[in-house]
Structure 1
Amino acid sequence: MKADPATQRRLLDLADVDTELNRVAYSRTNLPEHAEIDESETTMRAKQDAQVVAETALSDLRRELGRQEKEIDQVRARGKRDRELLDAGTVGARQVTDLQHELESLIRRQTTLEDELLEVMERTEAAEADVRFAEADLAGTREQLEQIVRRRDEALADLGTQETRHAERRAKLVEGLPADLLALYERVRAQRGNGAALLRARRCGACRLELDRVTVSKLKAADPSEVARCDECGVILVRTSESGL
């Protein structure tokens, strides 16, 4: 294959642009914010679970509070009824004794229930504090995640701008290149990751290996328009005054 030396040199600019496009693509998938977001989301899920546990514990305690308050109300109502019966003096002596014993039992039961209620109230206050802490902790993590997402989106937008700029430059460079030369370049780039490289001081700019004497002699004797390839890595070798031939 042959191509004008000036046209071949355009491949170097094309290779530079493709290198930048590869860098942009790599950066897009390897932004540090991606890992930070994954870590923050994992942390947030754990804190959401912690909040659910705290809220469940608080709900159970409030339900227990309601049950105990209802039971205390029932004991008080029973005691009030017994006292009213005693005060009314309408019951016999045997019933008076029974009512007095029941009142004593109800007073002891009320005292026990009120002590238990106080304990549950203290536990409820602690559980409410736990819920407030869990909510604040989760809110802090959510805010942190939102900040990371904003940084990621800004970085992606910047990379998108760079990609657009490089793609526009690539389109201009590709325009007018011979179809067979461009096809060779694209095929080599797909296989090797790099389509063309400068031959500088008898060394391939892609694999960095120095050409042997036989290859150098062949290139010296070759028509400048002949498209050369590196024997080691296969890229198109672009020859200039820097090639040392």
Structure 2
Amino acid sequence: MFTGLVEAIGTVAALEPLDTSASGGGGTSLTIKDCAEILTDAHLGDSISVNGTCLTITAFDKDWFKVGIAPETLRRTNLGSLRPNDRVNLERAVAANTRMGGHFVQGHVDTTATIVSVTPDGNALTLRLRPRDQSILRYIVEKGYVTLDGASLTVTKVVDQGEEGYGYWEVMLIAYTQEKIVTAAKKPGDEVNVEIDIVGKYVEKSVQSYFSQGAGGDFAVLEKIVGRIVDEKLKKATM
């Protein structure tokens, strides 16, 4: 479990495909350096978030650590596109005394998103993102949380289906955040790892389970919910 508050920015030292060593821990081995500040209390087997992906430390020294990446993780994330000297967001798993300044982040990437645009707004930056898996947009809500490359950010706008033919959402990076995460340096066309707020998934499954009971589910409640949503949409459309 993580908070989405990036602790350090590390540098990719090596990405070795088809690693078969005992310490590899996966189909591909990733070595990160320049991160001594988060390794002072490290142990083999510890979880660490690399660009929002929960991975296991399989080897480490004072200034570097190594993790194994499974094929499924490579398919889900942008880690496979990393190259030596690329920079990555890092966060250690939460401790019992950690302040929850972000939100509950699992480190389980749902999909990637492409940066469509980066627009200055004063000293802040607005990023527009198009998810590879458009179905996750149902979990993205304005003023809700979303994790991008391991950083907990607040959604400022959601468009389920834009004139461009796809849905997208936007987040804003304040000046302080820009200095603390690698995502601020990315350009249109670059990909970021996305983890949606797990609460939305639990709510969806609970609602589906409730109404799948047929006569046991109160469909009048569902009608009221849908009616309220439709009314709100119509109201916005006429404003």
Q: Which bin holds the TM-score, normalised by the shorter protein?
A: under 0.3
Scaled by the length of structure 2, the TM-score of the pair is 0.22
- In terms of fraction of residues, the more helix-rich structure is 1
Scaled by the length of structure 1, the TM-score of the pair is 0.21
Higher relative contact order, structure no. (Cα contacts within 8 Å, ≥ 6 residues apart): 1
